[in-house]
Structure 1
Amino acid sequence: MEKIVIIGGGFAGLNLVKRLDPEKYRISLVDRNNFHCFPPLFYQIASSGLVSANICFPFRREIKKMKNVSYHMGHVKQIDIAAKKVTTSYETLEYDRLIIAAGSTNNYFGMENLAEETFGIKTVAEAAHTRDEILDRLERGAICHDPERRRRLLTFLVVGGGPSGVEIAGAIGEMKKYILSKEYPELKPDDVTVTLIEAAPQLLGAMKKKSRDRAVKDLESLMVNVRLNTGLKSYENKYVTFADGHKEYYETLIWTAGVKGEPIPGLPPETIGRGNRIIVDEYNRVKGYEDSIMAVGDIALMQCEAYPNGHPQMAQPAIQQARNLAKNLNKGEFRHKFEYLDKGSMATIGKNRAVADLKGFSFSGFFAWLTWLFIHLISILGMRNKLSVMVNWFWNYLFYSTSLRLLLRPTRFPLRKHWGD
């Protein structure tokens, strides 16, 4: 029986685990976290709309009834292609076929100090940390008696006008417009500054003009300052230097501006392409190692006429690539080339505010928002999680109130250095 090692348990990795033939393959799933999560809702963790447990599901719970499937916690340290071995933080695994579905990480475009200076929503941990930062600033602002210092404490800059940036900016805007008067009576909306910048001339570049314009209008209605054609040059000592040279003070910078493939040690340089993604053919086989190594999802760079820079780094391409690869592997031959079926794009800006470009038509407002809710709700793993999310959404819709605005600072000791391995 062939041994398959899958690196990464995101949308692509988990779909592979579910669809590969357990009578034909012994499957080992490797991930640094012991759970699958739902990244489209990370911004709701950051804005205190949901807790992490609502959108995460343990791998062991998901695979417990699957035959010949095992989960291995660990961060990949090295791939030995010649020996066909993967070394993680804690063990070494042998494979006959290796499938890399490690996803993507933040791309700071050469400004590497931003990794330590800014907040993000790319992982569950980052989203929770961003939530703590937002709540910390609101609490400190509420007890600050110096108007100028209070204003500086409550400055939030979101960098990146894609769906993640639009959604987190809209969520903070909702807090500014609707939550402050209820839960932070010491603060006024004018005390809080929320700015969203995008280097391109429009938000949501993959969507239609009608949707892009509506997104700007909805953000502005939530008291968010939207600046297009505005790039970031640096961020030091809380001062942002923009591409045109002028500087502004922002206490909290949330980065959503770009992603790149997760680094995978051991792969030859010729297999790595644009955006640190792994070059694959139309069957998701890695260039030069077609018989033994494949890559799917965000980390895979499959260039074709329709997508010369690779497919969008979103959930649907990852899921479809995984299903197509599983079909080929189960049949024992690479017969079906991957063809991406674009099902459309969506983004929510706040309650009753969303934009949707589905196949053949676009719409916005309340019905787009309901559609967004439904699609995301059915995509979450676990009935308990679905019910928890639905209850939270219903309560927040009625009352703009939640018991989830908890500032949970991690304890410092005892140190657990191996968690960073």
Structure 2
Amino acid sequence: MTTNKTEEKELKHIVIVGGGFAGFLLSKRIDHTKYSVTLVDRKNFHGFPPLFYQIASSGLEPAAICFPFRKELRKLRHVRFHMGEALSVDTQKQELVTNTGKIHYDYLVLATGTTNNFFNMPELRERVYTLKSTAEAIRLRNEILFCLERACTCADAESRRTLLCFTVVGGGPTGVEIAGALGEMKKYILAREYPEISPCDMRVVIVEGSDRLLQNMSPEASAKSRQYLEELEVEVITGHTMKSFDGTYVNLDNGEQLKCHTLIWTAGITGEPLKGIPEESIGRGRRIFTDEYNRVKGCDHIFAIGDIALLTEKDYPKGHPQVAQVAIQQSELLAKNLNKGSFDTPFRYKDKGSMATIGRNKAVADLPYLKLHGRPAWFTWMGIHLISILGMKNKIITLLNWCWYYFTYNATLRLLIRPTRFPKRNEE
């Protein structure tokens, strides 16, 4: 669609940093007759975090849950995409500094999400596998497949068992889901596709520091998730934390050691505020304090939404849960307030429930007026996630993959593809 540059200059300019649920949906909801919008992200596509674990376990191909920004934004008037990494903000000049230049804004919206929290163990950054992006999910998939292939040719029994020991640290939804996916691989896939490996040699362990899995869900959901994992031969350790990992041994606070080759870290998250945001505006978990209209405290013309935003109120004294529904609802409200040009509608979170899937016909769901587990929860989980994925093609591909795997136990996606070296190039 062609646009008039002069007309665009007359509009107030909104710069949105982050193309996750909050930022991407906000860019689509803004009234483009009143504002021009620039969406900034270091990637050129929107990913779907709830299904990263399925990429890592070879259940889905990456393209099935990723959606190019430009494909959607080309339909919108006065909306631009800027691929780059946001580095800092100059609140006086109202400029966002990226690694590819400076962008002036009238309003800046921070929707940068969170990153992994290693709890004062920075050495883990180089030693563990994480699941915060599509690229990290592909990296973990490659490592899992590498371990299986190497184990097939490993003559030493002890080395083979170490290769096939996968430890998941963190018993939240992501940890439970990747542990369940690995448990299904052990129970259903090894004998079919890796006959050289005895299923007894593969070990999946999940470690959670609190007294139960899925701490933010009901006790019933926690108990059922543990039951389902144990049915998939996953070892569940609760009430103990990991003290260190040297690349071979996972050391727990009770003195126990787990010898494993692959450690998957899902234990915590933390914010990464931009340089230039005042330190007094940053609170617990490195999240940015906002008022009930998503305005950053102490900063004019700057908003924060999604996981990076910290809004404390009576029902949520530590801030709202860092889940997709909060991000979606905040983007809806901010778009509404910006479009009408006044901030008289405060944010009130409507909890629509939580859910997690552990494997085939095994899921738990805490809905506002109903608690489900087993097959009903599993079908509910599938339906909600299918609706949430962007793009009809992606929805169809995902559904076909799920149906194919359900009836055949064969994902056909166990492809170990590693990037090759780029040719030398001028970095100017």
**TM bracket, shorter-chain basis:** over 0.9
Q: State yes or no: 1:203 paired with 2:242.
A: no
Q: 1:99 aligns to what?
A: 109
The 1:415/1:277 distance shift into structure 2, 3 A limit, reads farther
Matches within 5 A, 1:384-403: 384-403=393-412
- Structure 2 letter corresponding to 1:316: Q
Among 69, 81, 89, the alignment partner of 1:79 is 89
Q: State yes or no: 1:311 paired with 2:317.
A: no
What secondary structure, in the 3-state scheme, does the structure 2 residue paired with 1:240 have?
strand
TM-score by length of 2: 0.96
Q: 1:14 aligns to what?
A: 24
The C-alpha deviation readout for 1:159-193, integer Å capped at 9, x for no partner, is 00000000000000000000001100011111101
Among 141, 156, 160, the alignment partner of 1:150 is 160
Q: 2:49 aligns to what?
A: 39
Q: 2:347 aligns to what?
A: 338
Root-mean-square deviation (CA), in Å? Answer: 1.3
The 1:412/1:382 distance shift into structure 2, 3 A limit, reads same
Please tell me whether the aligned partners of residues 278 and 298 of structure 2 are also in contact (alpha carbons under 8 angstroms): no
Q: Distance in 2 between matches of 1:2 and 1:38?
A: 30
Q: Shift in Å at residue 417 of structure 1?
A: 10
Please tell me whether the aligned partners of residues 273 and 288 of structure 2 are also in contact (alpha carbons under 8 angstroms): no
Q: Distance in 2 between matches of 1:288 and 1:375?
A: 38
Sequence identity (%): 55
- Structure 1 letter corresponding to 2:19: G
The C-alpha deviation readout for 1:210-265, integer Å capped at 9, x for no partner, is 11100000000001000000101111132112122333211100000011113412
Q: 2:73 aligns to what?
A: 63
TM-score by length of 1: 0.97
The C-alpha deviation readout for 1:281-331, integer Å capped at 9, x for no partner, is 111100012x40000000000011111111111100000011111111111
Q: Distance in 1 between matches of 2:386 and 2:220?
A: 26
Q: Distance in 2 between matches of 1:226 and 1:193?
A: 11
Q: Shift in Å at residue 415 of structure 1?
A: 5.9
The C-alpha deviation readout for 1:97-120, integer Å capped at 9, x for no partner, is 100000111111111111110001
- Structure 2 letter corresponding to 1:384: K
Greater than 4 Å deviation, 4+ residue runs: 415-419
What secondary structure, in the 3-state scheme, does the structure 2 residue paired with 1:356 have?
strand
Q: 1:348 aligns to what?
A: 357
Matches within 5 A, 1:230-245: 230-245=240-255
Matches within 5 A, 1:317-328: 317-328=326-337
The 1:101/1:401 distance shift into structure 2, 3 A limit, reads same
Among 366, 382, 387, the alignment partner of 1:378 is 387
The 1:185/1:378 distance shift into structure 2, 3 A limit, reads same
The alignment covers a number of residue pairs equal to 418
Q: 1:165 aligns to what?
A: 175
Q: State yes or no: 1:292 paired with 2:297.
A: no
Q: State yes or no: 1:48 paired with 2:58.
A: yes
**Structure 1: 5+ residue stretches without partners:** none
What secondary structure, in the 3-state scheme, does the structure 1 residue paired with 2:237 have?
strand
The 1:296/1:119 distance shift into structure 2, 3 A limit, reads same
Matches within 5 A, 1:18-33: 18-33=28-43
- Structure 2 letter corresponding to 1:134: I
Please tell me whether the aligned partners of residues 109 and 302 of structure 2 are also in contact (alpha carbons under 8 angstroms): yes
What secondary structure, in the 3-state scheme, does the structure 1 residue paired with 2:53 have?
helix
Q: State yes or no: 1:246 paired with 2:250.
A: no
Q: Name the stretch that deviates more: 180-189 or 242-251.
A: 242-251
Q: Distance in 2 between matches of 1:132 and 1:107?
A: 23
